Amino acid sequence: MQTITCDTCKKKVDDSKTGNALFYYANHSVCEVCKDNLELQIKTAIREKEPFSYEWYEKCVDDTITKSIQKGKN
């Protein structure tokens, strides 16, 4: 059994239970709730960005996660 802590909200996620989801973005562990919040925050930025580039997207994701970690929440 392995328990991993979400980097943004610091909630412990037990991977042995069905339905617990943990995602990895930019070398950070993110729980499902924080992943949904992250995607909502990034969605508006993506719609405004033209032309789209994956380098920019990766930087945007990393910056958003870093800000969330510094705030202590997502």
Q: Which element (helix H / strand E) includes 13? A: strand 12-14
2-16 residues labelled b (16+ CB within 10 A) or e (exposed): eeeebbbbeeebeee
Query: pLDDT tens-digit profile of 20-47?
Result: 678 887 788 888 888 898 899 888 888 8
Average pLDDT estimate for 55-64: 89
pLDDT at 74 over 60: no
